[in-house]
Chains A and B, each alone.
Chain A
Amino acid sequence: MDFSHYPRLENDLVLSWHWPRPPDCPPFKSLPAFGPRNRALEALAPGAAIVGYHSAANFTRFLGSLACDQPLSLLVQFSNDEVAPDGNYVQDSNVATLNWDLLAAEKSYKPGESHSGFWAIRLGKWLRVEVTNLGDKPTSFLRVYVRGSTL
């Protein structure tokens, strides 16, 4: 009857941008569908950035990878703010206003680069990932994945 208390996650995908968006298909067994978790809604314009937030408390480390036809920059930041500047508890609507003072990883990516992975140990309660298109064309191909490790 009881489930395992070993904190292992099959569904370890924390943030993802997959462009062009793949067709929506049924997921494997009871895993959540990928479509709603894919944050890529359009090609990333030159100079534009995508930003994702997630709580970090359930993970010890974060790892991921980049792939794109344009050069990118990546920032992995943490915040330890317990509340937002207005004193309210952290919510989806105010998480962007926290003090993102902890830079845990920084990376420059060039198209075709094989060393496209990154990782960061958890330094705060909240996670922020920012990816900027440093190229002169919109991204026609983009893969950004951030996964969390519970071990």
Chain B
Amino acid sequence: MGITHADSGLPRVLNGSSTPEEQRFDLLGSTRAISLRNTGGESLWVSFDRREWFDVPSGTSWGSHAVARYFWHCTQIGETSFVVNRVDVGLGEDHPETTSDGDA
């Protein structure tokens, strides 16, 4: 089994911020599952094609076993922050060494 099994993968947490300007958030091609949590005070709008959008209210999250290389995001007014938890498959060689206390 190991980390190359289809159901395995290493999580990577990425922080982002969003404004009314539509921005693209890039993921790796090996990403097979993402979760996204709006950690700010404005609603976060998310789209995979810039045509259909869905909203993620403050403090809530959205996740899927989707194969996506990127997504688009914006707010209606003001700014918000978000965190992406991304699971990549088949990775290991390019990950930093983990120290004895768990910090990378």
Contacts and interface: CB of A to CB of B under 8 A. Distances in A.
Interface of A: 1-14, 30, 32, 53-55, 57-59, 89-92, 95, 148, 150
Contact of B76 (A6, A9, A89): A89
B39 A11 contact: yes
A93 B33 CA distance: 37
A2 B77 contact: no
A3 B78 contact: no
Nearest to A13: B41
Contacts of B33: 1
Interface of B: 11, 15, 17, 20, 33, 35-37, 39-43, 57-61, 63, 76-78, 81, 83, 85, 87
Contacts of B77: 53-55, 90-92, 95
Nearest to A30: B15
Majority DSSP secondary structure for residues of A touching B: loop
Contact of B39 (A2, A5, A9, A89): A9
5 contacts: A4-B61, A32-B40, A58-B58, A91-B77, A148-B58
A57 B17 CA distance: 19
Contacts of B81: 11, 30, 32
B85 A54 contact: no
A4 B38 CA distance: 11
Contacts of A9: 39-41, 58-59
Given A7-B58, A7-B60, A1 B41 contact: no
Contacts of B63: 1-3
A92 B40 CA distance: 17
Contacts of A1: 11, 33, 35, 63, 85, 87
